[in-house]
Structure 1
Amino acid sequence: MNDIRHKFSTKCRPFQDLCIDESLVLWRGIILDFILYTGAQTEVQVDSKFGFAGSVVNTLIEPYLGKGHNLFTDSYYASPILFEHLQQNSTGACSTVRPNRKGVPWFPAVNRGEVSACHKNMMCFKWSAKRMVHMLTSIHENKIIQTEKKEITLQESQ
C-alpha cells in the first residue's frame, strides 16, 4: 500500500483546489494520497483538538499546507477548529457543516430561500432550500448573487 501511495503522490502536481472525501467504491480521478480505514488500527495520529476526522484531514493535507490551496470536504470532516488551523496555515476551506459541531454558531429559523450568516475569521451560514443547509467557508464572501434558472432542451444539449 505504501508503494501505491508513493506512486500516487509523485505522479501529479495538484491544482489550487483539493478535496478530501471518503469512498467505498472505485474512484475514477486523480488521487494524491489515501488512508485505508482499518478500524481502531487505522494509521492516523489522532489529535484530541481535532478528533479522528480532523486528524485524517491534517494527515492528508500536511504536504500541501502553506501553499495557498483550497480544501473542499463534506460535513463529516468540517469543523470551525479545523478550518481555523487550515487558515493559519494559508489553506482555505469550504464545506457543509453539521449544525451541532463545536464552534458552529446558532442561527435563528429562516424561511425557504432565506439566508442567515455570521462572519469572524471565516463565514458560517445557514439557508433553507428543500431542507436546512449549514456551510462553513474561509474562501468566500458574504454576498449572494442571483442567477436565473435556465431550462435546457434536448436539442440545446447536443
Structure 2
Amino acid sequence: MNAIYYPKKELSLDESMVLWRGRLVFRQYIQNKCLKYGIKLYMLTEPDGLVIKFAVYTGVFDDMEGQGNASIVVLYLMSEKLENGHSLYMDNFYNSFDLATLLIQKNTYCTGTLRLNRKNTLVEVKKDETIARYSNGVVIGKRRDKREVAYISTEFKNNLVVSTNTRGHNQTKPEPIVNYSKFMSGIDRQDQMQSYYPCIRKTIRWYKKIGIHIEQMLLMNSFYLYNKYKI
C-alpha cells in the first residue's frame, strides 16, 4: 500500500479479530466484537474500510507488548504517515494526554474517546453538562448525557454542534465526538464486508487462517481502489 497509494487526511485505528477458538498462547477475547475469540490484529484504515497497514498481536512474543504498548502500536502503524497533517481517530484503549502531545509534535492530529481513569481527566459533571480543559494544544473534555463520556482532541475545540442521529433527531454534541463518530468506522466496515463472503473453515490451522484473512484484505483493498479510480 505504501508503494501504490497514499491515504486521505482522515485515518482510523482499531482492532480486528480473526476467529480462532482453539488453543493458542496469544488468543484474545474482545467483548464488543462480533468475533469475540481469536487472533487480534491492529489495523490502520481509511473511514471507508481501506486497510493501510496492520500488525498481528502475538502476546509475549510481540515487540509491541508491555507497558505503554498502546502508544507503541500507534507509532508503529503511523510510522510512514507522521509529519503530514493526518487526523487519526482512536478509541479509549489508545488515547492518552502523553500520546496526543507526542503526535501533535509530529504534525499529526488525534481525536477520540478517553478512559475516565487516565491521568489528567476531569472531575464529575452533571447531566446535560459539558466541561473541557486545554493544555499544550490538547483539549480533554467530559460530557454526561445518559452516562459520562470523556474525550480528547488536538484538532477540534470543545464547540457544541448540531448532529443528526440514526432516527433523524437533532442533538447538540461536542465537535470532537461528532467527528469521532463520523470517521471511526473503517475497521467495522472492513469486518462487515469480509463477513458477507467468509472463506474461513473450522479445520484450517491458525496460521493458514491468518494467510487467508490477509488475502481477503488484499482483495477488498483492490475492490475499493478499483471503485475509486475506475473510468
2 CA distance for matches of 1:150 and 1:63?
36
In structure 1, the gaps of 5 or more residues are 1-7, 153-158
* Distance 1:141-1:42 versus aligned 2 partners, 3 A rule: same
Aligned to 2:121: 105
Name the counterpart of 1:4.
none
> Secondary structure in 1 aligned to 2:52?
coil
How far 1:13 moved relative to its partner? Answer: 1.4
Q: Which residue of 2 aligns with 1:86?
A: 103
3-state SS of the aligned residue for 1:95?
A: strand
Q: How does 1:18-57 map to 2 (within 5 A)?
A: 18-25=11-18, 29-44=49-64, 51-57=68-74
Q: How many angstroms apart in 2 are the aligned matches of 1:43 and 1:113?
A: 43
Give the structure with the larger strand fraction. Answer: 2
Tell me which of the two structures has the higher relative contact order, counting C-alpha pairs closer than 8 angstroms and 6 or more residues apart.
2
Shift of 1:112: 2.0
State which of 3, 9, 15 in structure 1 corresponds to 2:8.
15
Structure 2 CA distance for partners of 1:65 and 1:150, relative to 1, 3 Å: closer
Residue 43 of structure 1: how far off its partner (Å): 3.9
For residue 5 of structure 1, what is the aligned residue in structure 2? none
Q: TM-score, normalised by structure 2?
A: 0.55
Q: Distance in 1 between matches of 2:64 and 2:9?
A: 25
Sort the Cα spacing of 1:39 and 1:113 in 2 relative to 1 into closer, same or farther, 3 A: same
When residues 118 and 31 of structure 1 are mapped into structure 2, their CA distance, relative to the original with a 3 A threshold, is same
SS at 1:34's partner residue?
strand
- Greater alpha carbon shift after TM alignment, 118-127 vs 10-19: 10-19
2:148 to 125, 132, 135: 132
Note if 1:118 corresponds to 2:133: yes
Partners in 2 of 1:149 and 1:105 — Cα distance?
27
User: 1:10 Cα shift?
Assistant: 2.9
Q: How far did 1:151 drift? A: 5.4
> How far 1:144 moved relative to its partner?
1.2
Q: Which residue identity is paired with 2:62?
A: T
After TM superposition, give the deviation of residue 113 of structure 1 in Å. Answer: 1.5
- Alpha carbons 1:66, 1:90 under 8 Å: kept: yes
Partner letter of residue 92 of structure 1? Y
Instruction: Figure out how many residues of one structure are paired with residues of the other and give that number.
Output: 140
2-side partners of 1:45 and 1:55: how far apart? Answer: 9
TM-score (norm 1): 0.78
Q: Which amino acid aligns with 2:14?
A: D
Cα offset, 1:36, TM superposition:
0.2
* Deviation sequence 1:116-154 (CA, Å, 0-9, x none): 1111221100000211000000010121124577955xx
